[in-house]
Amino acid sequence: MEAVRKGTLAVGVRGGDCVVLGVEKKSIAKLQDPRTMRKIQMIDDHVCVAFAGLTADARILINKARLEAQSHRLTLEDSASVEYITRYVGGVQQKYTQSGGVRPFGLSTLICGFSPEGAPQLFHTDPSGTYSEWKANATGRNAKAVREWLEKHYEETEGEATAKLCLRALLELVEPSSKNIEIAVVGKDGVATMSEEDVDALIKKVEEEKEAADREKKEKARRQAEEALAAAGEN
């Protein structure tokens, strides 16, 4: 759990027609290939995962899940459901908490996709192997504060509004720049990872909306103060 608490922040938000995963990106060396440090990975064509914790542990766990997904497809001639993959990942994590000579996986995951009925799903697993379904959740650095923010502001949205909600949650702790943020939108047609230009454009929209809301709030407070003074003068 300590590795998870020190890991980079990951946020998942379920909308009416998609699930959005957003993660905090670590700064990488100038000569390093950024593709080798992705915090959002595909398990199958329709299942996406973001994680917080030890990257090396995540690589092993994700490879196990990919192998299980392919085995399921080969055996049953059908793709594994998101819940099946989550249950498998939770089972592997739990097994490593009780076996001799091994240590638990130092990561928690946010696994998302669409159910066979076509409904968006978001699951969370922790190092103990416990898994549960969520409307929105966060894991990693200061996840509790972000989760509390999501509890206050969550509402079921669609399309770009869901991505904005996920980004607003990330911006509670992360610097507003595409260098620090990665976002993937999981829809019925597959997974689309936002380019840096799209992330910057979305950050600009969110900040403009926030400034407009702040101006409106100040204007409302000013009007209320004026009305209160006027009422006091009449009395």
pLDDT above 70 (res 229): yes
Residue 216, pLDDT above cutoff 80 = yes
Residue 52: its pLDDT value, please?
92
The residue ranges of every structural domain in the chain are 2-196
User: What pLDDT digit, counting tens, does each position of 181-211 carry?
Assistant: 999 999 988 888 888 899 899 989 988 888 8
Residue 121 burial (10 A CB sphere; 0-12, 13-18, 19+): buried
Q: For 28-80, how does the pLDDT look when each residue is reduced to its tens digit (9 = 90+)?
A: 778 888 777 788 999 998 899 999 999 999 999 999 999 999 999 999 989 99
pLDDT of residue 235: 62
153 vs 165: CA distance, rounded Å? 8
Write down the architecture of domain 2-196 according to CATH.
Answer: 4-Layer Sandwich (3.60)
Q: Is residue 90 within 8 Å of 70, Cβ to Cβ?
A: no
pTM: 0.86
Backbone angles phi, psi at 183, to 5 degrees: -130, 135
Could you tell me what percent of the chain has a pLDDT over 70?
Answer: 99
Query: In this structure, are strands 120-125 and 131-133 parallel, antiparallel, or unpaired?
Result: antiparallel
Q: DSSP state, 130?
A: -
Q: Tens digits of per-residue pLDDT, 136-178?
A: 999 988 899 999 999 999 988 888 899 999 999 998 888 888 8
Task: Please give the sequence-ordered ranges of beta strands (E in DSSP) within 188-232, or none if there are none.
Answer: 190-193
What pLDDT is attached to residue 101?
Answer: 85
Q: E strands along the chain, which residues?
A: 10-14, 19-24, 40-44, 47-53, 107-114, 120-125, 131-133, 136-139, 181-187, 190-193
The answer to whether residue 131 scores a pLDDT higher than 90 is yes
Name the band, by pLDDT with cuts 50, 70 and 90, for residue 132: very high
Rounded CA-CA distance 131/115 in Å is 16
